[in-house]
Structure formats: structure tokens, C-alpha cells
Amino acid sequence: MPDPILELDGVGKHFGGVVVLQDVSFHVARGARHALIGPNGAGKTTLFNVISGVFPPDEGTVKLNGRDLAGVPSRRRIAMGMARSFQNIRLMPHLSVVENVMLGQHARQGLLGQLKPVGLLPQARERRAALDLLDAFGLDAYPGQVVANLPYGIRKKIEVVRALMAEPELLLLDEPAAGLNPTETAALRDFLMEVSARGVTLLVVEHDMPFVNSLCEHVTVMNFGRLIYDGTAAGVREDEAVLEAYLGHRRKGATNAA
């Protein structure tokens, strides 16, 4: 087995009488670009929330670098090497780009650290680190600009850079290509390939299959809260359960409709 950075074993979650996750088990190899896909309502976002500590699992275990995360709150998981971006951008629109990126680092430092980006504590070292990271990913033209004034595709990249300020080993990305046009999607894919090349493991929830196929090497597929496929990106296109549940299935011998 490749060296796993994240391990899920028998994870279950229910809300009242509604079972949302049932016996979900898979691992994410260190350094991988790993996709988590499935139709709407499959349980992907709930599973992300369990992994990142928003919800505790009702059954099973989640381990990061071999450590059981039971009882570990979200903020502590950041310090342990896990960061997350969200489908809906959660940048502070009234702050500048560099101030938003600095917030990613201070999430590891408690309340005092989070006061630095808004100018209430000295911040020279943290600001320099944020500027250096923006420069490293080709976003050095934007540090002083107010986030609300920037194109959507640029804001998506800035949210990823903010997450990288926490120096994660594992980065969870919740539908990073949502709302992007084809040009922006291709640019984000190249951007995430560079993030991966720097040694960050990616676990990506996404509906855009061309984006998944061009970015990810390994795919886990869920349907109705259960895992139905876990294997290579190439193999997912041939799996009957996936074709039926998610990608659309055409029986052998059927002809295309006129």
C-alpha cells in the first residue's frame, strides 16, 4: 500500500433517521491528486465535513498521518497539516489580497494571530511570507487590490493560496472549478498541478469530469452515501456501477438517439 496521509475506515454519519454516510473506507496516498466524485446527494460534502472536523463521525475512524482525529477540532487539524477551501469563496471581500492570504497563516495561531492581518498587531514577517507565496504562484500583481474587485477565477486561486499559508500537507478542495469558464478552469488546473508539484497532497470534490480527468490520478466515487468505486482515473470510465450511477450508462448494443 502506498504511504497513506489520510485513512478512512468504516465512516458513517446520520442526521436523525437519515443515513448520509455508510461504511466509507478508503485512503489517500501521500503526494496524490485524488478526486472524490458522485451525483448530488451522494454524501461528498458531508464526508469533507467529517474529515475536516465540522462534524464527528457516528461510526468509524479518520486518521491523518496515522493519528486518529476523534475529538480533534477543526482548528487543531489545521495545525496538524490539513487545510480546506470551500465551494463558495470565503475570502473577506473588503480586505486586500495580501491581508486575506495572511489570514490563512494566522488560522494556526489563535486569536492573537488573527488580529495581525487587520492591523492590530505587528505583521512584517507574516506579510513578507504572504507576498512571497503570491509571487511563487504568479499572483504578485494583486497583493494590494481589494478582493471584491477581482475576477472570480483569480479569487479562486487566492483562496487556495490562503489555504497554503497554513503549510498543509493535505489540501481539501470543495468544487474548486465551480463557476469558472473553460479558460479559468484550465488555468486553475495548471495552478493546482503546481501546488501538487510542491509536495501538497490534494483531495478534490468536483463535478467537472474533464477537470478531474486532467488533474487527478486516483478517483473515489460515492452514491447514496456509499463508496462504489476506488481506483485509477482511467478505470472509472469503464466501471459499470459508476456509469449507471453518475456518468450515464448506455447498454451494449444500444444506438444513439436521432
| pLDDT tens for each residue of 145-183 | 999 999 989 998 999 999 898 889 999 999 999 888 999
Query: What average pLDDT does range 36-54 have in this prediction?
Result: 93
What is the per-residue pLDDT for 196?
Answer: 96
| Helix, strand counts (H, E) of the chain | 10, 10
Three-state DSSP at 40 gives coil
- In the chain, where the domains are located: 1-75+201-248
Among all chains, which residue has been given the C-alpha cell 489563535?
A: 110
Answer for the pair 208, 185: CB distance below 8 angstroms, yes or no.
yes
Amino acid identity of 135?
D
Residues 229-255: tens digit of each pLDDT:
999 988 888 888 888 876 565 545 443
Residues 123-132: tens digit of each pLDDT:
677 888 889 9
What is the per-residue pLDDT for 122?
Answer: 47
Going by pLDDT thresholds of 50, 70 and 90, the confidence category of residue 42 is very high
What is the per-residue pLDDT for 201?
Answer: 98
* Arch. (CATH architecture) of 1-75+201-248: 3-Layer(aba) Sandwich (3.40)
Question: CA 236 to CA 240: how far, in whole Å?
Answer: 9
Secondary element (H or E) of residue 61: strand 59-64
What is the per-residue pLDDT for 107?
Answer: 55
Query: What average pLDDT does range 186-202 have in this prediction?
Result: 95
Q: How is residue 149 written as a grid cell?
A: 474587485
Among all chains, which residue has been given the C-alpha cell 450515464?
A: 248
